[in-house]
Structure 1
Amino acid sequence: MSEFSNLLIECFRNYNIWFLSIIIVLQCIGIPTGASLLVMASGAFAYAGEFNAVSLLLEIWFFSWVGDNIAYIMWRFIGDKVLNRHSKIKFYIQPKIFKAKNYLSKHGRSSVFFSRFIISAMGPFINATAGLSRYKFWTFSLFVALGELFWTCIYLGLGYWFGDSFETIIPIVTGFGQFITYIAILIIALYFFIKAIRNKKSKH
């Protein structure tokens, strides 16, 4: 592991769940902090008896849910203020927000849910999009909770299952996550490309 990863793990061992909660919330906002790695490490520590696995699961799940909701609220209210102050940015962004709103009205639940664990790299982007487009908060919060439960169970479970050798699966998990993200981006790009072609044909 890198020196940064070792530093994260050492800080977690010293400051426990409070440090991990900050790391998780920051990642939900969009700052890459290595939260997934740290959750796996916490699972390994639970396997070794340093932490209670059930308590860890509930705490990680809760702070993940809180972090996503903070990100949503931040983009919903701060985003509005920024756009209202800068008319040029608003003129450029507003049509995209309208398209995002239409997309989320059709696919919002699945987008929020699956971006928590299958394509977790898209999570902060979905949080921002949901906030800016004023997607229904309670629907967002519910599917965030469900998706983050899967994310917590997967990464905490991997760390617990592999125990002291959890470091050996980090490259595999990281590579798989990147692969899924690239595939998801490709599918989304193809979807909008095909949709644009159909719209052009329908106009002629």
Structure 2
Amino acid sequence: MTEALLALVPVYGVALVALATFLSCLALPVPSSLVMLAAGGFAASGDLVLWQVALAAFGGAVAGDQLGYQVGRAGGRLFGGRSLPPKQARLLAEARALLHRRGAMAVFLSRWLFSPLGPWVNFAGGAARLPLPHFTRAGVAGEAVWVAVYVGLGAAFADDLLALADILGSASGLLAAVAVAGALALWLRAALRQRRRGGAEA
């Protein structure tokens, strides 16, 4: 499937890049990072234009973020996690916890450093009614980093795209796990402090 997807990139060009980043920001299983790497590689070989690839990836990602935020804002109850499968509900819960503790910084970091949490931060940000200007500024800055890293690496390492994608995918999953563990640790510490305070008052 990976090779078939890569073969579509030079055929559909920037439209495919924009669609991939847009859909991935809505929690759909689209390998947008791989698509950006491939598009960067094809741009390096002259089949695509680098700035057009970067602009398409950035535009699709920002549009996806905005739609995800609005979906979360409109369907706050749905995105409370009750009607989602367990895995998705857990990711959403961790995204909400991260947002409550870090706000706009969580939006920025979840665009590129903890990207598996990104779509869920979009939904949670809307459901929590994070101010849209704050969400947008942080999201735009984070997406700029994400696009620059993946399109740039694709252009720089055009001959080793699959190996590079495997390395980056593993690193991204590890960072997401670290983020979830960190959020749980912060929640546990806050809960313990609250319990101690309650015990002291009693």
Give 1:17's match in structure 2, choosing from 14, 18, 37: 14
Contact 2:6–2:35 (CA<8 Å) still a contact in 1? yes
**Structure 2: unaligned runs, 5 residues or longer:** 84-88
Aligned to 2:133: 138
The answer to whether residue 56 in structure 2 is matched with residue 59 in structure 1 is yes
Displacement of 1:21 in angstroms is 1.6
Q: 1:82 to 1:197 in 2, by over 3 A?
A: closer
The alpha carbon displacement at 1:168 in A equals 2.1
Mapped partners of 2:78, 2:53: distance in 1: 37
Q: Which deviates more from structure 2 when the two are superposed, residues 126-135 or residues 50-59? A: 50-59
| In structure 2, C-alpha distance between the alignment counterparts of 1:130 and 1:63, rounded to whole Å | 19
Q: TM-score, normalised by structure 2?
A: 0.85
CA root-mean-square deviation: 2.3
2: CA distance, partners of 1:140 / 1:32: 23
The answer to whether the aligner puts 1:28 opposite 2:25 as a matched pair is yes
Q: Give, in angstroms, the shift of residue 179 of structure 1.
A: 1.1
> Stretches of 4+ moved more than 3 A in 1?
80-83, 103-106
Q: How does 1:92-103 map to 2 (within 5 A)?
A: 100=96
TM-score, structure 1 length as denominator?
0.85
Query: Identity of paired residues, percent?
Result: 23
Q: Residues 62 and 140 of structure 2 are in contact (CA less than 8 Å); yes or no, is this contact kept in structure 1?
A: yes
Does residue 202 of the first structure (1) align with residue 186 of the second (2)? Answer: no
Write the distance in 2 (CA, Å) between the matches of 1:175 and 1:104.
24
Paired positions, count: 188
Q: 1:106 to 1:184 in 2, by over 3 A?
A: closer
Distance 2:38 2:52 in 1: 15
